Amino acid sequence: MKIQVLGTGCQKCKLLAEHTEQAVAELGIVAEITKVTNLKEIMAFAVMMTPALAVNGKVKVAGRVPSAEEIKKLLV
């Protein structure tokens, strides 16, 4: 599973990355988590508001920071 945290590095983006790592650890799944900070790459996902979370190339959440529990539901 490939998970991408889209954002320029703001506090909310860092929090989303933390929640994502927590969710993956709690589920015990194997996932590659990467942070996408380049604006051109973020725009390629058609995301207008960050932070955003993409799973296997599909944007699941944009413009807010979901809880680790919500992220776990998106990953299962």
Q: Whole-angstrom Cα distance, residue 8 to residue 28?
A: 28
Domains in the chain: how many in total?
Answer: 1
Instruction: Select which of 1, 2, 9, 10 is catalytic.
Output: 10
Q: In the annotation, is 62 catalytic?
A: no
* pLDDT tens string 42-65: 999 999 899 999 999 999 999 999
| Total-model pTM | 0.93
What DSSP designation does 12 have? H
Spatial contact of 75 and 27, defined as CB atoms under 8 Å apart: yes
At position 35, the amino acid (one-letter code) is K
From the list 13, 16, 24, 53, the catalytic residue is: 13
Instruction: Note the pLDDT tens digit of each residue in 14-23.
Output: 999 999 999 9
Residue 5: active-site member: no
State the residue range of the domain holding 66.
2-75
The enclosing domain of 31 has a CATH number of 3.40.30.10
CA distance 23 to 71: 6
d(CA 48, CA 34): 19
